[in-house]
Structure formats: C-alpha cells, structure tokens
Amino acid sequence: MRRGTPGFVGERLREAREVRGLTIVALSELVDVVSHQAISQYEHGRSSPSAEVVRALGNALNVPHDFFLRPSRQSTRGTVFYRSMSSATKSARTRAERRVDWLRDLTEVIDQHVTLPAVNIPVLDLPSDPLLISDDEIEDAADRLRSHWGLGEAPVSNVVLFLESQGVILARDHLMAESLDSLSVWPDGDRPYMVVGVDKGTPVRWRFDAAHELGHLLFHRHVDQTTLARKELFKRVESQAHRFAGAFLLPLGPFSDDLFGASLDAFEAIKPKWKVSMSMMITRARHAGMISDETRRRLMINLGRKGYRRNEPYDDTMEAEHPRLLRRSVELILESGAMTPADLEDSVSLPISDIETLTGIDRGYLERFAPVTLGQMDRPAGGHQHNVVVLSERRR
C-alpha cells in the first residue's frame, strides 16, 4: 500500500497550478506519473501523494517541494481591482490574484527585517456607493490628495517610487494575458498592493496604470468582490479610476497653461514634461472642457492615421518606472547578513526566479550573491530618494 506525504496541503497544489496557468489535465500530462483524477483528489484533500509524486509535482510547477507543506492561508485577500478588458478570463484573473498572494508572502518576510514606509493614503469623505461619486468629487479628490502629499501642481517625477514612499507595495510582473493591465488590493489590517502588468504597453501607459490603481485604493477599498461583479458597477469604478488618474497626473491649471493649441503637435510637445500619453491628454482636455467632443473625435482619428494608437512619439525613449522598495530591502537584508538567499527562499518556499521577479531584483542576483560588509554597499548618489528602508531594530 502506497503511503502519502504527511502534512501535504492540497490547497497549495492548486495555488501553484493556478499561478502557472495550468489545468489539472495539463499538469497531469506534464507530471506523467499520476492521473488528472488523482491530482483532483490531492487538491481537495481526499488523498495525499507519495514523496515521488510530490517531487514530480514540484518540478513540473517549478516550486520547492516544501511549498506543498505550507499551511493553508488564513488571512483574506480583500477585493481585487483590475484595469482590464471584459474579455479577461477567470483563469488569468486567478493567476494574477495568486501572484499578489506571493507578493504579500514576500513582503511579510521582508517586513520582519526592515522598516518599510508607513501607509500614508488619506481617507476621503466620499459616498460609500461608487454610483453616487460624481466627476466633480473625483477632481476634488485628486487635488486634495496632491495637497495632502505636498505635491503642488508640478508633474509627479516618478509615480512608482512616490507610491512606494507612501507605503504601497508595488511590483511589475507578466500577467500572461493581453486583457489584463494591472491590479490592486488592500487587505484589511495590511498595506495596499499593486501589480503593473508589463506584457504590453509603454512607460507612460505603465505609469498611468499605477495612478489608475491608486484611484481604486482611494474610492473603492470597501467595495466587496460580489458587488464588484455587477457589470454596471464594474464599468463605473473603472471609469472613476481612469478619470482620477488623469486628474492626478494632469492638474488642470498648469496642464491647460502648457497646452498651446488643440493639435497633435501641441500634445506631443508637452508629453515629455507630463509623461502621459497623447491620447490620455486629449481625454483629459475633453473632461476639463478645454476641447469639444468634435475636436476630441478629430484628434483621435488623426492619432490613428499617424499610427500613434500603438506607438506614440517618445514611447521608445522614455524610461520605465521600476519599483525599488522590495529590491533595496532584500539587498539590505542580504548585505547586512540578516539572511542568505537560501534563507529567503526557504522562508516563503518560492523559487528564486519568482522572488527576483516580484521584488524587482536583477535576474541571477540571488544566485550570484556573495556576502559583503556594510561599508562596501553601494549607495545611490544624488537625487531625492522616496523609498528609504532601514534595518529593523528588533532584527539587528
């Protein structure tokens, strides 16, 4: 009689399978030593695989074998918001949500060793029902948030780094779906998390995605997942986050002062300053009453004629905004000797490749890492640093 593996958690097998975007049948074909019916039994906790099968499953899913021995998740994820198309499949959304879970696992470990920035996102006095939030209230919220953060009316130099400085955990990841752009979640008792998808898009698009998710954190944190499933509400919250992102990135006063005409040349001229796509600036100008519907329609037609719907001027030269908070935190932990790469891998039972992707660490860094003294650590020279992290006193 074959014996199972003590402590095997079927939920973890399902989690790893969903992260890899595999069906049960596809996984059974990869493993080739067990049927899809058996895998279904494992996932539902009705039976336990042998050690040989556990090794095969771990190899097929590229996770350490002890990943399947980790306890079931106890904390709730909270409502997940997406910048997405309606065609996004359930499997694509599930995979993205599981990646956020892994990001939270990593953050919890990192938070034990460094002091991360405190969450500084104000609670705004707005209707709890998104259907009751007006466009004027969205515009006012963008102004109030800029005032709260002391941003004035100047362009935000780096949206990603600034959000990290306000306590948001942000990652860039391949969401493996053309229909998904980004997602965010703010679990109760935890900090907010964002993932910006880089499967497609441009630096200005990814920057806008981050601002879009910020709108969800401000306006929709307490909307439950069931309510969000209503088509009318989903469409409305997406529209609100979109409008907020435009108002936050393009404050009306200076933006209107910079726009010297209602032509593509005029929008192209100010794009390097504001780091927002021409198409979004056209939409913002229409929302603000700076141009008419007819002018907006004409400008969008001209964008298409010039081929700018896919690739606008400056898209190939602007630098993408990369998160630094988790990357620098991990580097500091390793360089201080608080953990080794093996310790980090064991603490979350995730492969090095996923840890590097979710934290933004350069590929191969953890495998090549060699201890150095604190005096040898590289320190960025010059420039304002938004996301400084320090070793936690309790872990020094």
Name which of 296, 375, 323, 60 is nearest 206 in CA terms: 323
What element of type H or E holds 169? strand 169-173
CA 133 to the chain's CA centroid = 25
- What is the rounded distance in angstroms from the CA atom of residue 193 to the CA atom of residue 170? 6
- What is the rounded distance in angstroms from the CA atom of residue 116 to the CA atom of residue 165? 9
Query: Going by C-beta distance under 8 Å and a sequence separation of 6 or more, which residues neighbour residue 98?
Result: 15, 18, 19
Phi, psi of 195 (to 5 degrees): -130, 125
pLDDT at res. 78: 82
- What does the angle CA 222 – CA 228 – CA 229 come to, to the nearest 5 degrees? 155
Query: Going by C-beta distance under 8 Å and a sequence separation of 6 or more, which residues neighbour residue 391?
Result: 113, 114, 115, 332, 333, 336, 338
pLDDT at res. 377: 41
- Spell out the domain ranges in the chain: 10-69, 83-96+117-180+199-305
- What is the rounded distance in angstroms from the CA atom of residue 219 to the CA atom of residue 145? 12
Tally Cβ neighbours within 10 Å of residue 342: 10
Which position has the token pair 């880089």? 198
pLDDT at res. 396: 42
| Burial environment of residue 307 by CB neighbours within 10 A (0 to 12, 13 to 18, 19 or more) | exposed
CA 390 to the chain's CA centroid = 23
- What is the rounded distance in angstroms from the CA atom of residue 41 to the CA atom of residue 30? 17
Helix axes 352-359, 90-111, angle to 10 degrees: 90
Sequential pLDDT tens for the chain (396 residues): 357 899 999 999 999 999 999 999 999 999 989 999 999 999 999 999 999 999 999 999 999 999 999 999 887 788 888 876 556 688 888 999 999 999 999 999 999 999 999 999 999 888 888 889 999 999 999 999 999 999 999 999 999 999 999 999 999 999 887 778 899 999 988 999 999 999 889 999 999 999 999 999 999 988 888 888 888 888 899 999 999 999 999 999 999 999 999 999 999 999 999 999 999 999 999 999 999 999 999 999 999 999 998 899 999 999 999 999 999 999 999 999 999 999 999 999 999 999 999 999 999 999 998 775 444 444 333 333 445 456 554 444
Name which of 120, 101, 18 is nearest 61 in CA terms: 18
- What is the rounded distance in angstroms from the CA atom of residue 111 to the CA atom of residue 115? 6
pLDDT at res. 328: 97
Phi, psi of 359 (to 5 degrees): -95, -10
CB 168 within 8 A of CB 192: yes
- What is the rounded distance in angstroms from the CA atom of residue 383 to the CA atom of residue 386? 9
3-state helix/strand/coil string of 326-353: HHHHHHHHHHHCCCCHHHHHHHHCCCHH
- What is the rounded distance in angstroms from the CA atom of residue 234 to the CA atom of residue 130? 10
DSSP state of 132: G
Is the pTM higher than 0.75?
yes
pLDDT at res. 89: 81
pLDDT at res. 228: 81
At the second CATH level, the architecture of 10-69 is Orthogonal Bundle (1.10)
